[in-house]
Amino acid sequence: MPHFGDISSGWIKRIENKGSMLVQLLFFSSVLLSCISNGSAGVTSTFVRNEWPSVDIPLDNEVFAVPKGYNAPQQVHITQGDYDGKAVIISWVTADEEGSNKVRYGLSEGKYEFTAEGTVQNYTFYNYKSGYIHQCLVDGLQYDTKYFYEIGDGDSSRRFWFRTPPPIDPDAPYKFGIIGDLGQTYNSLSTIEHCMQTGAETILFVGDLSYADRYKYHDVGVRWDSWGRFAERSAAYQPWIWSAGNHEIEYFPYMGEVIPFRNYLHRYPTPYLASESSSPLWYAVRRASAHIIVLSSYSPFVKYTPQWKWLEQELKRVDRKKTPWLIVLMHAPMYNSNDAHFMEGESMRAVFESWFCRHKVDVVFAGHVHAYERSYRISNIRYNVSSGASYPVPDKSAPVYITVGDGGNQEGLALR
Ligand SMILES: *[C@@H]1O[C@H](CO)[C@@H](O)[C@H](O)[C@H]1NC(C)=O
Ligand SMILES: *[C@@H]1O[C@H](CO)[C@@H](O)[C@H](O)[C@H]1NC(C)=O
């Protein structure tokens, strides 16, 4: 694997070569952005997003525009719907009434010969009432095929498309984009627009979507809605593989909202049952030549917990002959040299790092720290409270750790 960008300090370094390059990984949100291409050394992108200012775009801006027409579907997004990429979950919101749960789809534009029927739900969050949130599984799709789909009723219906991945195969090329900590500022817009220009086929999202939790009361739900309309420009066409960050927790005793992840879980479904997970917050999918494991930094993960037991089983299901790439997504980085969020990932490191080395995870992507950073292959698995060996050492079985939390949210960059 060629290199992504230059970072220096201690154990932070470039990724080593892993033989033939099968999966392209694009880091859209990096200020120091680089990208790589098939089989060749890395090409550093000229894309540099503004560092400052980083303020939320006003609600009346056109990037949040509600689509025209009575009850028109809005906040459309898709994600993988099964384990191997032959299904998508399509989600959208209608504001005026429930409307249809149907997705009409087909192989050519304007000709929607198939129909899938989904479900609808609504919820309240303090005094905010959500729109009608539709979720529809479209399955039994062919690999490597462009599908066109239509949702909504009559004159208000809207049309989109997506492309299914190639079959699971060690040589299947695929282009992933990686975004974390996006938010809804002008910088977020520049990140998402750049990401769309690069032709990323699927986005691996490492948590912290809307930053709606920086608002209060009714505005929290309002900013989840605006973010849904904002992300639609990409997420209605490219599947986003979701992971949850701290901004999704939304534990707000002051307004009586104390169940974690409520807004996020109502809005962003994941195919967790397909990997035998018991929670949408941790799961796995396989796509082209990659096996992608999503973990939840803010759910229990210590020994004997559901997430721990699930990961133990999921790692056994990894078949490197089919998916030579083993990628882990989480929000809080296990290695981080910045002051911002220093050591917040340490507890998960203590629990999972030895498994990552034993199973030779290629790369762990995290967000949380609003910076780009990449490690050498190092591990600290000899360490325990009674051994003096507390410093990470080079380890060829260890993953490379990449932090890419600089998506552009209103909190700005971690400057050390
Ligand atoms: C969901 O929508 C229905 C129909 O508009 C309404 O009666 C109900 O109160 C809503 N439920 C919640 C939880 O907001
Ligand atoms: C922890 O470190 C001590 C001292 O090096 C060693 O004797 C012990 O076996 C280690 N324990 C585990 C569980 O690795």
What tens digit of pLDDT does each residue of 54-105 get? Answer: 899 999 999 999 999 999 999 999 999 999 999 999 999 999 999 999 999 9
pLDDT of residue 271: 98
Crossing angle of helices 306-317/346-358, nearest 10°?
Answer: 20
Mean pLDDT of all residues in the chain? 90
Tens digit of each residue's pLDDT (9 = 90 or more) over 159-183: 999 999 999 999 999 999 999 999 9
Least confident of 111-125, 253-267, 399-413: 399-413
Q: What is the pLDDT of residue 416?
A: 75
CA distance between the termini of the chain = 28
Per cent of the chain over pLDDT 90 is 83
Is 9 near ligand 2, meaning CB less than 6 Å away? no
Question: How far is ligand 2, taken at its centre, from the CA of residue 387, in Å?
Answer: 6
Residue 324: cis peptide before it, omega within 30 degrees of 0: no
Specify the pLDDT at position 228.
Answer: 98
Q: Whose CA is nearest to atom 5 of ligand 1?
A: 97
- Does residue 226 contact residue 198 with C-beta atoms inside 8 Å? no
Above 70 in pLDDT, residue 9? no
Which residue puts its alpha carbon closest to atom 2 of ligand 2?
Answer: 387
Q: What is the pLDDT of residues 357-404, one digit of tens each?
A: 999 999 999 999 999 999 999 999 998 889 888 899 999 999 999 999
- pTM for the full predicted model: 0.91
Atom of ligand 2 minimally distant from the CA of 388: 5
pLDDT at 28: 46
| CB-based contact 408:54 (threshold 8 Å) | yes
Q: Rounded CA gap, 5 and 41, in Å?
A: 12
User: Which of these ranges, 10-19, 159-168, 230-239, has the smallest mean pLDDT?
Assistant: 10-19
- Whether the CB of 197 sits within 6 Å of ligand 2: no
Ligand 2 pocket, residue 388 CB under 6 Å? no
Site of tokens 């050492």: 393
**Which ligand is located closest to the Cα atom of residue 128?**
1
pLDDT in tens, 283-301: 999 999 999 999 999 999 9
Q: Where are the alpha helices (DSSP H) in 158-275?
A: 186-197, 218-235, 262-267
- Cβ pair 115, 136 in contact under 8 A: no
Name the E strands within 86-209.
88-94, 102-106, 114-117, 119-121, 124-125, 128-129, 132-138, 146-151, 158-163, 174-179, 202-205
- The pLDDT of residue 294 is 99
Nearest to 335 by CA among 35, 5, 3, 13: 13
Ligand nearest to the CA of 384: 2
Q: Looking at the annotation, which residues are catalytic?
A: 341
- In percent, how much of the chain has pLDDT > 70? 89
State the distance from the centre of ligand 1 to the C-alpha of 122, rounded, in angstroms.
Answer: 6
pLDDT tens digits for 322-343? 999 999 999 999 999 999 999 9
Protein residues with CB under 6 Å of any ligand 1 atom: 122-124, 129
Cβ atoms of residues 47 and 194 within 8 Å: yes
Cα–Cα dist 335/69, whole Å: 48
Pair of tokens at residue 226? 């605006």
Query: What confidence score (pLDDT) does residue 27 get?
Result: 53
* Residue 7 clears pLDDT 90, i.e. is over it: no
289 in Cβ contact with 88 (< 8 Å): no
Q: Which residue has a Cα nearest atom 6 of ligand 1? A: 122
Is 384's C-beta closer than 6 angstroms to any atom of ligand 2? yes
CA distance 316 to 331: 23
What mean pLDDT do residues 233-237 have?
Answer: 98
Sequence-distant (6+) residues with CB within 8 A of 408 are 29, 49, 54, 181, 182, 183, 185, 186, 187, 188, 189, 190, 191
Banded model confidence at residue 413, pLDDT cuts 50, 70, 90: confident
Assess whether pLDDT exceeds 80 at residue 263. yes
| Span 188-203, average pLDDT | 94
Instruction: Please answer whether residues 66 and 74 qualify as being in contact, where contact means their C-beta atoms are separated by less than 8 angstroms.
Output: yes
Predicted confidence (pLDDT) per residue in 21-54, tens digit: 335 555 544 333 333 333 334 555 677 777 766 8
